[in-house]
Every structure is written in C-alpha cells, then in structure tokens.
C-alpha cells in the first residue's frame, strides 16, 4: 500500500474541534488506501495546560537553570499526551491506532539535549504496526540518545520527526499541516497581497528559513535534504494543495521569496575578528562577515552584552532575498531599488542564491513593498 506521513502542529490539535478536523483528514486519506503515519506536536502554546512551555515553566519555579536532561524528559510529555489523545480519537471513529513515543518510533539522536540531531531511524516497529492495520501516531520533537535518554529536537522538531520518518519509511507523501495555507512569497502579515507558492526548491527555502521565514524551521529542511524527501506544507483548516518544498519552484518576478528578521542589531569592528570570536554571536553564520573591510555581524539583543571593543550596536531589520539565477537580478540592482525609495541600507551580506541587507527597522515594510513591486 502507498504510505503517507502527516504532521499536525500545536494549533492543529489544540482543541477538540481542531483535532476533529485533523482526524477527518487522516480518515479520508486512509479511505483512499494509504497506510498512515501521523506525527503530532504538543497541544497549544504557553498557558494551555498541555503545551510544552507550560510544562517547562514548572521547572523555572524550582531552578533558574534546570538540568537539560530533566528539561528534555519533561518537554517530551506534551507530544506524548497529544499522540495518545489523537490515537484514542481515531479509535473512537473505528480506526485502529497505535501511539508511539519518539523512542518507540526508532528515532536515534545525538546527546545535544534541547537541540538534538537525528542520527538514524529504525522504522521496524512502525512497519509492523502498519502491517497489522494500525495508523501509527508518533510523538514529534523527540528521540533518544545511545544511552536511551530522551532528547528533544529543538525548534521545528516535530517537522523534523515527520520528515525523518518519511525518509526512513520511503513514504510516498509527507505533509506538514499547520494553520497557514502554505509558503507565501513573503510574510502576508506585512504584504497582504503576497501569493502562496505552489512549489519551491530546497535551497532557496533553506536560506529563507535561516534568515527569518517562520513556517518551516531550517533544521527540518536540513533533514529533508539529507533524506532527499520533498514534502508539502498545507493547512489543517482548508482543502488547498499547499506548497511542495523540494521541487523546482515558482519565482514570481524572478524571485523565490523574501524573508525578514526584525529587532536585530548590526555590529561592526574596524579591526576585524582575527580569532573569529564574534562568529558564535551572529544570528546565523550567513550574517557574519570578516574580511579586509573589518567584521560585521547581525545579532539579537541577548548577545549585545557579550560584545567587546565594537562600535555601538545599530538597531536594524534584515531583509533577505532569494532569486532565480536566470532572472537578471543582482545585489547592485536590489540596492538600486532600495536607494530609489530612500531606504539607506546599512550593510550587505552575500548569501547563496541571493543577498541580505541590514536596513533601518522603521523602513522594513517600505523596503519590502518597493522590492515586491519592482
């Protein structure tokens, strides 16, 4: 039978009404003859009773720096609760379902607590359950290290789980269900007319995710590229096809998309950074430059206090573009558009397939609109 892996995020399973929408999609695809593996996130967000942050807040009342091993074990509970609830909801609808932790699903990680990497996946237990007629409901965001300690996978961890399972199981389809219809050309909260893409290749999506695009975390994309596993991003609450990530994609106006990092700081040192001591403070290694002109990097507010002998940190936003290589777009032409609209960019960083510009925060929307229209 063909196999599909579906992942449902926290908002998709946060209430009974929303869970039923997810259940309906699971039952519908099973009725089409698919074996189904479902990956779920914890239910809701901080303040909701079974959200991951709600659990972790319990430790903050005991210790300012709880043990990472303990944090991971507690953090894994939200997804385990969620997979049990979804599995039982499927059983109630007459569909045999088997909940599994990340450990039971065969996900082996390194020992980097709170930000683990998937080393390998042993899918035998899942295959046996599928062959016995079950829908497998796996807890996302978690695995175990070689010593059988629970390790969580960091931001985007449930997406990573679904893609890793899809790769190991050689799934025919992997779908990431969320609360948006897919991947937009740029943030629709800033430019409401920005279209949703039907497809985008791994590389531009990966760069955009590293530099501000929020729908899919770059760690999940690294996993997808490792397994060469295209996947779709779709909405739990609508019937659209969403965006296929991993195939040659659309490039409206020659660009694959724009991403924005807000509330950042530009830091420069005229003497350079000969030991590259500042590199770990950059928001991303793409946003760090060290050459004959000196050192420049983008960092967040929490890193400011760790900087020494630098010029005064300059508040900024960072706008990153990814364009088609045959589109004729260049850093010079992008800078020209910004200049024509009186956007005085502060710094430029070369990134694969495009570029990143540090711009005044108050001009971020103006800059995005100018480039969008151009």
Q: Residue 238: pLDDT band by 50, 70, 90 thresholds?
A: confident
pLDDT in tens, 38-80: 999 999 888 889 999 999 999 988 988 899 999 999 999 999 9
* CATH 3.30.2130.10 domain span(s) along the chain: 254-373
What is the per-residue pLDDT for 302? Answer: 82
Read off the pTM. 0.90
What is the per-residue pLDDT for 124? Answer: 97
Domain 3-179, CATH among 3.40.1160.10, 3.40.309.10, 3.40.50.620, 3.40.47.10? 3.40.1160.10
Dihedral class, residue 228 (left if φ above 0, else alpha if ψ from -120 to 50, else beta):
left
Domain 254-373, CATH among 1.20.5.510, 3.30.2130.10, 3.90.1150.10, 3.40.640.10? 3.30.2130.10
Residue tagged 């082996």 (tokens): 108
What is the per-residue pLDDT for 309? Answer: 60
Structure tokens at 71: 């944090």
Q: Does the CA dihedral 31-34-38-44 come out positive or negative? A: negative
Bridge partners of 8? 40, 177
Residue tagged 């909405």 (tokens): 235
Q: Residue 137: pLDDT band by 50, 70, 90 thresholds?
A: very high
Decide: helix, strand or coil at residue 6.
Answer: strand
pLDDT in tens, 165-192: 999 999 999 999 998 999 999 989 899 8
* Distances, alpha carbon 79 to alpha carbons 71, 219, 229, 306, 343, in Å: 14, 19, 23, 35, 45
In terms of C-beta density within 10 A (0-12 exposed, 13-18 middle, 19 or more buried), how is residue 341 classed?
Answer: middle
Residue 35 has pLDDT above 90, yes or no: yes
3-state helix, strand, coil in the chain (%, to 5): 35, 25, 40
Residue 253 has pLDDT above 90, yes or no: no
Task: Report, as an integer, the average pLDDT of 225-253.
Answer: 90
CA distance 351 to 321: 9
What is the per-residue pLDDT for 59? Answer: 92
Q: Residue 251: pLDDT band by 50, 70, 90 thresholds?
A: confident
User: In this structure, are residues 165 and 100 in contact, taking their beta carbons and an 8 Å threshold?
Assistant: no
User: In this structure, are residues 337 and 349 in contact, taking their beta carbons and an 8 Å threshold?
Assistant: no
User: In this structure, are residues 93 and 135 in contact, taking their beta carbons and an 8 Å threshold?
Assistant: no
CA distance 346 to 53: 36
Average pLDDT, the chain: 93
What is the per-residue pLDDT for 304? Answer: 78
What is the per-residue pLDDT for 308? Answer: 65
Task: Report, as an integer, the average pLDDT of 138-163.
Answer: 95
Residue 305 has pLDDT above 80, yes or no: no
What is the per-residue pLDDT for 156? Answer: 87
pLDDT in tens, 254-295: 999 999 999 999 998 878 888 888 899 999 999 999 988 889
Q: Residue 96: pLDDT band by 50, 70, 90 thresholds?
A: very high
CA distance 4 to 204: 25
Q: What is the DSSP letter of 238?
A: S
Structure tokens at 225: 């590229």
Q: Residue 310: pLDDT band by 50, 70, 90 thresholds?
A: low
Residue 318 has pLDDT above 80, yes or no: yes
Q: What is the DSSP letter of 196?
A: B
CA distance 51 to 371: 38
Q: What is the DSSP letter of 109?
A: E
Structure tokens at 253: 């106006």
Decide: helix, strand or coil at residue 309.
Answer: coil
Closest CA to 105 of 88, 120, 89: 120
* CATH 3.40.1160.10 domain span(s) along the chain: 3-179
pLDDT in tens, 108-132: 999 999 999 999 999 999 999 999 9
């Amino acid at each position: 039978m063909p196999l599909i892996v579906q992942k449902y995020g926290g908002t998709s399973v946060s209430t009974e009404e929303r869970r039923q929408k997810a259940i309906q999609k699971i039952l519908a695809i099973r009725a089409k003859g698919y074996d189904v593996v479902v990956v779920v996130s914890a239910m809701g967000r901080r303040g909701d009773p079974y959200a991951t942050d709600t659990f972790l807040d319990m430790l903050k009342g005991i210790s300012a720096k709880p043990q990472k091993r303990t944090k991971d074990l507690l953090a894994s509970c939200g997804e385990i609760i969620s997979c049990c609830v979804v599995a039982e909801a499927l059983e109630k609808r007459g569909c045999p379902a088997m909940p599994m932790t990340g450990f039971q699903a065969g996900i082996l990680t390194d020992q980097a607590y709170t930000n683990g990497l998937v080393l390998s996946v042993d899918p035998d237990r899942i295959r046996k359950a599928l062959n016995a007629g079950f829908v497998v409901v796996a807890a996302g965001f978690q695995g175990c290290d070689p010593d059988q300690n629970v390790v969580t996978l960091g931001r985007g961890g449930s997406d990573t789980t679904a893609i890793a399972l899809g790769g190991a199981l050689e799934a025919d389809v992997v779908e990431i269900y969320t609360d948006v219809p897919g991947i937009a050309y740029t943030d629709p909260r800033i430019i409401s007319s920005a279209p949703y893409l039907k497809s985008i290749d791994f590389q531009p999506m990966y760069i955009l995710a590293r530099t501000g695009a929020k729908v899919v975390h770059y760690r999940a994309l690294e996993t997808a590229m490792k397994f060469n596993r295209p996947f779709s991003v779709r909405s739990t609450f609508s019937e659209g096809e969403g965006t296929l990530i991993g195939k040659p994609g659309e490039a409206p106006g020659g660009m694959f998309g724009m991403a924005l990092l807000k509330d950042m700081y530009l830091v420069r040192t005229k003497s350079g950074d000969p030991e590259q001591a500042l590199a770990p403070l950059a928001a991303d290694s793409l946003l760090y430059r060290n050459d004959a002109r000196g050192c420049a990097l983008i960092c967040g507010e929490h890193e400011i206090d760790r900087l020494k002998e630098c010029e005064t940190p300059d508040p900024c936003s960072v706008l990153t573009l990814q364009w088609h290589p045959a589109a004729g777009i260049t850093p010079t032409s992008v800078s020209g558009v910004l200049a024509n609209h009186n956007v005085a960019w502060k710094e430029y960083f070369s990134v694969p397939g495009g570029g990143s510009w540090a711009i005044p925060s108050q001009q971020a929307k103006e800059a995005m609109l100018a480039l969008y229209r151009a």
